[in-house]
Amino acid sequence: MKLLVSACLLGVGCRYDGGHNQLPQLKELLKTHTCIPICPEQMGGLPTPRPPAERQGSRVVTRDGEDITEAFLRGTAEVLRLADLYRCKAALLKERSPSCGCGQIYDGTFSKTLVEGDGMAAQMLKKHGLTVYGESQIGELVNTRPFFYSI
């Protein structure tokens, strides 16, 4: 299966603080799936490192109060373009992120309080019919047999 994957989960230092969240289980996933790395924040033009940001409703704001929603929208559009180009049907994304979070994100107060919701990219991928997994669900993907598409 062709799968979008948050680049930070693959070990790319693209987190807001320049770090990564590499998942050792991805080595198994790479044996049976084609993983396309994405970072909606970088793809939207934001630098690394960058100030922490959280969703506040339909906006994304840094801890300093700068509205960076447009960069998140640009990055989300690029992620959707890659999903279409590679015919991806699913994504494995970084949980709690304002762009990739799936199911729970921080509440926008920078107090580490989680609320129900999705990051901007995860929300749009779901809206466009992709199945979105958070990194804690990687076992579901590792244990699935890949399926192939004919062109």
- Give the Cα separation of 89 and 28 in Å (integer): 19
Q: What is the pLDDT of residue 142?
A: 79
123-149 average pLDDT score: 84
pLDDT surpassing 90 at residue 140: no
**Host H or E run for residue 81:** helix 69-85
Task: Give the total residue count for the chain.
Answer: 151
pLDDT in tens, 31-42: 989 999 999 999
30-54 average pLDDT score: 96
Q: What is the pLDDT of residue 88?
A: 97
Mean pLDDT, all residues of the chain: 93
| SS3 assignment, position 41 | helix
Backbone CA torsion sign across 55, 9, 19, 77: negative
Q: What percent of the chain has pLDDT over 70?
A: 95
Q: What is the pLDDT of residue 143?
A: 74
Q: What is the pLDDT of residue 145?
A: 58
The answer to whether 72 and 105 are in contact (CB under 8 A) is: no
Give the Å distances, CA to CA, from 126 to 46, 98, 101, 117. Answer: 23, 15, 12, 12
Confidence band for 149, pLDDT divided at 50, 70 and 90? very low
pLDDT in tens, 66-97: 999 999 999 999 999 999 999 999 999 999 99
Q: What is the pLDDT of residue 146?
A: 52
Instruction: Report pTM.
Output: 0.92
- Give the Cα separation of 142 and 26 in Å (integer): 8
